[in-house]
């Protein structure tokens, strides 16, 4: 006989009745069923259970989780050591535009060749650290300055290579109001030599922080001056560039100083030949004077 329950019949379970599940019975959840855990329920994962994160799942670290920081990418500043070693071989512009940013006066001159040439180059090694080469003609010193703007003299970091009785002596300095004040800079690996009145030196330096901290942009300057008993004379600027990225060897470099050289024509006896315009002016003045006397 089969018992068919009435649709309105309610089954009231006995409070002492225990339901014994069939060991072969499988509970199949409804697709719309939601399981709400008890507040005291603890979920114990199976040792073989693998958690596969959902596409939008976000992992929030617990209060006791330790995060390992990535190593810093900023290179350490160079330790100062301005002992000058002998420079073997002349500085040249071979790597200009390849691995070095260069500025020169005259433009494209090569300091390794004969003739006047003021030259500076910069090659980035890491972080704020660079290798520099500096050359120029002077009986006193040749200096390279870095300015965060195009106006020299606002405490600009300067590297000075001076001729001290035929040997290079190196100074760190800041340029302010056209006067050098010696100071210690993060410079080492200095090498130099003096050949006649040509001063050449190379060195490694940690450059200052530029106005835009994310870049390495400066105006470069090369200057010369006197050097007497350790005193640096006022600078005579030979090169002053536009703002350039020192780390970009292909930066466009323009010398902001326009130099005009006037070469007078002389007679074999050494007298200066007057320009035609000056001669004409003199003749006109004489003519006016003669007419006034008549």
| Boundaries of every domain in the chain | 84-245
Cα dihedral 166→172→175→176 (10° resolution): -120
Residue 147 to residues 107, 176, 208, Cα–Cα distance (Å): 21, 11, 9
How far, in Å, CA of 129 to CA of 33, rounded? 65
Quick one: which H or E segment has residue 277?
helix 276-293
Where are the extended beta strands (E) located within the chain? 84-86, 101-105, 118-126, 129-137, 141-147, 154-164, 167-176, 179-182, 187-195, 198-206, 217-225, 227-228, 231-232, 236-245
What's the confidence (pLDDT) of residue 286?
57
CATH assignment, 84-245 = 2.60.40
CB distance 222 to 136 below 8 Å: yes
Beta strand pairing status for 141-147 and 154-164? Answer: antiparallel
- What does each of the 294 residues of the chain score in pLDDT, given as a tens digit? 444 444 454 444 444 544 444 445 444 444 444 444 444 544 444 445 444 444 444 444 444 544 443 333 478 999 999 999 999 999 999 999 999 999 999 999 999 999 999 999 999 999 999 999 999 999 999 999 999 988 888 899 999 999 999 999 999 999 999 999 999 999 999 999 999 999 999 999 999 987 766 679 999 999 999 999 999 999 999 999 999 999 999 999 999 986 544 344 333 444 433 344 445 555 555 554 555 555
pLDDT of residue 160: 98
Three-state secondary-structure class, residue 125: strand
| 132 SS3 class | strand
Q: How far is CA 284 from CA 210, 273, 280, 287, 288, in A?
A: 59, 18, 6, 5, 6
Q: Give the pLDDT of residue 52.
A: 43
Inter-residue contact 90 to 196 (CB < 8 Å): no
For CA atoms 209, 212, 213, 214, the dihedral sign is negative
> Can you tell me the distance from the alpha carbon of 143 to that of 150, in angstroms, rounded to the nearest whole number?
17
CB 219 within 8 A of CB 147: yes
Dist. CA 164–CA 141, nearest whole Å: 9
């Amino acid at each position: 006989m089969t018992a068919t329950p009435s649709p309105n019949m309610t089954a009231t379970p006995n409070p002492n009745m225990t339901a014994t599940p069939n060991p072969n019975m499988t509970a199949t959840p409804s697709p719309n069923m939601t399981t709400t855990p008890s507040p005291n329920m603890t979920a114990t994962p199976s040792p073989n259970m693998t958690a596969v994160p959902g596409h939008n799942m976000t992992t929030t670290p617990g209060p006791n989780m330790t995060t390992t920081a990535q190593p810093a990418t900023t290179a350490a500043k160079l330790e100062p050591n301005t002992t000058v070693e002998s420079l073997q071989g002349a500085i040249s512009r071979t790597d200009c535009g390849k691995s070095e940013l260069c500025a020169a006066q005259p433009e494209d001159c090569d300091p390794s060749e004969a003739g006047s040439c003021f030259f500076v180059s910069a090659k980035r090694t890491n972080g704020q650290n660079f290798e520099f080469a500096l050359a120029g003609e002077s009986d006193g010193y040749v200096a390279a300055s870095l300015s965060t703007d195009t106006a020299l003299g606002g405490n600009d970091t300067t590297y000075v290579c001076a001729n001290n009785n035929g040997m290079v002596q190196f100074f760190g300095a800041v340029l302010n109001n056209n006067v050098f004040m010696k100071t210690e800079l993060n410079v080492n690996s200095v090498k130099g030599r003096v050949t006649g009145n040509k001063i050449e030196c190379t060195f490694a330096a940690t450059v200052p922080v530029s106005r835009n901290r994310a870049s390495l942009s400066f105006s470069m300057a090369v200057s010369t001056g006197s050097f007497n008993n350790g005193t640096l004379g006022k600078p005579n600027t030979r090169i002053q560039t536009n703002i350039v990225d020192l780390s970009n060897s292909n930066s466009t470099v323009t010398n902001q100083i326009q130099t005009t050289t006037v070469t007078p024509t002389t007679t074999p006896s050494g007298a200066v030949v007057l320009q035609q315009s000056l001669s004409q002016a003199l003749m006109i003045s004489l003519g006016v004077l003669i007419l006034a006397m008549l």
